[in-house]
Amino acid sequence: TYLLVFGAFLFLVPYLMKKPIFSIGLANFTWVIMSVGTVLVWLSGFVYHYAPLYTIYWPLPADFTQFSVVGAVMFVVGIAFIMIGTLAFIVNIYGTVFYTPKGQKKQPIKPLLMSAFGIDGFLNIVNKIRGKEPYVKEPPLSLPIVAIFRGTVDTFLDALVILGAGLLILFFIGNHVFQWGLHYHSVDALLYKNIFWWGLDLIADGLVLIYVAGTWYLLAMLITGRNLFMQNIARAALLLELIVSWAVWSHHLLSDQPQPEIMKLASGEMITAFELITQGLAFFITLTTLWLARPLKMTNELKFLLGGLLGFALAVPAGIIQADLGMNRILHNTQWVAGAHFHVAILVGLTMTLYSAIYILFPILTNNSVKLFSQRLANWHFWLHLLGGIGMGAFMGMAGIDGMLRRHVYTEGEFLGYMILAGICGAMILAAWFIFMFNIIATIGLKGLIGIFKPSQLKKDVIIPETAAAVQKG
């Protein structure tokens, strides 16, 4: 997902700002090192059975009575590669936003920063309430750029935390190999868990929601051809979402007995509930923008956008339900969390939003030179993915309500009916992906597929896409 999102943003930021990317070399470095890192992490589990879980809870990653040192080293190096690639992406995004290409007028840093953090939108709201002129009529950065900029703040903070966890694991690998005599209990497991979840939740409840909101806004504007409804509110809401994302991690620790009760109540419940407001605002603004532009043709990008909105409309309340001290006692560590919450959020909400972006960017990237191979296949892709994703989350959620745990093997067929139905729905998602891939590859052809991995023949200062004549000239 990171590679898909990073690739899209490394195209969109230069395209929307009408200037070349800061560094093509850095962009190529990003996808190469992240791809290598992903393969290493996968091999550490597949070959060496290094399995510290997605959450790498301490002291599991340092337990060398059951895991090999080679697998641990491969895992840490893979994670480090992914995070280094992430930092390279961040440098490229911020470099593109702030640098001035040759021949263009230099913009002051202050208004760019104020726009990037949504302060200008907030001041516009304040001035409107006070009956004054807007602080700025035309913000220097468009709303999608603001969302990308702000989400990348959380991306940076998360990368630092995950890199820190990797360095800690690497230190204890050295401790085991060279017999330094330090026990893994010297690391406070609860403190580690809080720091780790603070960083990891910057993805789940920070950059994902901010990036998704920004993508919804961009899609709504591209689909309707009009400005976004309530732009100043949208800018201010993105700033609120960024701040909220720094203080909600404790909802992952509601069932941890040593976790202070005040943190469970404040961070885990009260502040987490703000996500209903921030995500609800993004939902409302996007739908209202579409509504005001009626009639609209039900294009691929529109229906996948609506599917993505539906996914988050189901997944966010499911998450808020389990972010309650009472309900969390029942739902924590069950298939409800995996199914009704984050499977629906990722597989329906996030993935269908990304599919919408792909369908709308595809003609832009190809200068409208190719036509989608089969609209019928695109329709099959939509319905199989939507029904499969919601169905999978629903049946897993039902199993969770009945007591089925995550990370647990049931050998007596206790929840077999739910799992068969969830498996069928999962197969529908897989079939939808194969249909999508076939449709895209059939559209561009094998020559086009191979050409993606060849060095570009265009000059580095060409803003893609442009008309064929401009490309040939430049």
| Domain total in the chain | 1
As a whole number of angstroms, the distance between CA 103 and CA 106 comes to 9
Tally of CB atoms within 10 A around 58: 23
Q: Is the pLDDT of residue 118 over 80?
A: no
pLDDT confidence of 231, banded at 50, 70, 90?
A: confident
Average pLDDT of 90-118? 84
Assess if residue 88 is contained within a domain.
no
Q: Work out the widest C-alpha separation in the chain, in whole angstroms.
A: 71
CATH number at residue 352: 1.20.210.10
- Residue 106 or 189, more confident: 189
Print the domain residue range for 434.
Answer: 300-474
pLDDT at position 462, please? 67
The predicted structure's pLDDT at residue 150: 85
Per the domain annotation, does 391 fall within a domain?
Answer: yes
Using alpha carbons, select from 177, 161, 156, 146 the residue that is nearest to residue 72. Answer: 177
pTM: 0.87
- Residue 165 in contact with residue 56, Cβ under 8 Å? yes
Is there a domain that residue 465 lies in?
Answer: yes
Mean pLDDT of 12-30: 89
188: CB partners within 8 A, 6+ apart: none
What was the pLDDT predicted at 461?
A: 66
Does the structure show a pLDDT above 90 at 143?
A: no
Is residue 334 one of the residues assigned to a domain? yes
Is there a domain that residue 90 lies in?
A: no
Looking at the predicted structure, is the pLDDT value of residue 102 above 50? yes
Q: How many other C-beta atoms are found inside a 10 Å radius of the C-beta of residue 240?
A: 15
Q: How far does CA 361 lie from the centroid of its chain?
A: 18
**Structural domain includes residue 319:** yes
Asked if the structure places residue 425 within a domain, the reply is yes
Greater confidence, 75 or 125? 75
Alpha-carbon distance 199 to 289, whole Å?
Answer: 33
| Structural domain contains residue 432 | yes
Lowest mean pLDDT segment, chosen from 83-87, 97-101, 208-212, 451-455: 451-455
Distances (CA, A) of 177 to 44, 66, 121, 300: 18, 15, 55, 55
What are the tens digits of pLDDT across the range 362-383?
A: 888 777 677 899 999 999 999 9
